[in-house]
Amino acid sequence: MSGPRRHVGRVSLLLVALTCPLAACGSTDGREADVSAAATSFERALRGGDPTAVCAALAPQTRRETEESERKPCADAVAGLNLPAGEPLDGVDVYGRQARAVLASDTLFLSQFPDGWKIVAAGCRPRSGQPYQCAVKGG
């Protein structure tokens, strides 16, 4: 292959290489599986009464805001919030680096961080025509 066709091929390859990082290329199924695992782990920690594991699953800002609003260390704060353990997982929606996990009695919102998917909001209830109301959330 030579001439203009070769140039177009290189440009197409370059465009794909440049847009993949911007569009969070990667397997949607893989990201959905990772979100499902993070949500299930969080719910297992809630059900098992392990506030340390619950706090470890929270995004840093969510953990800070929980501590500040409850005026307690995270483990003490989440233990007193009575968050619903919402398994089983009914579905996951992934939008780039953001996700929603819908469970039987809870909805979680997650963000992707360098060390994996973290919970940015939990204990969330839908409200007709309004944003979700969440018991735990970060800014």
3-class DSSP assignment, residue 79: helix
**Rg of the chain (C-alpha set):** 19
Confidence of residue 15 (pLDDT cuts 50, 70, 90): very low
Residue 11: which residues within 8 A CB-CB, separation 6 or more?
Answer: none
Nearby residues of 110 by Cβ (< 8 Å), 6 or more positions away: 35, 38, 39, 98, 99, 100, 101, 117, 118, 119, 120
Residue 42: closest CA among 12, 27, 62, 24 = 62
Give 31-90 pLDDT, tens digit per residue: 999 999 999 999 999 999 999 999 999 999 999 999 999 999 999 999 888 888 777 889
Check residue 108 and give its pLDDT.
96
On whether the CB atoms of residues 120 and 107 are closer than 8 A, the answer is: no
Long-range CB contact pairs, 4-13, < 8 A, 24+: none
Q: What is the value of pTM for the model shown? A: 0.77
Domain architecture of the chain: domains with CATH = 26-137 (3.10.450.50)
* Percentage above 70 pLDDT, the chain: 79
pLDDT at 2 over 70: no
Average pLDDT over every residue of 13-18: 33
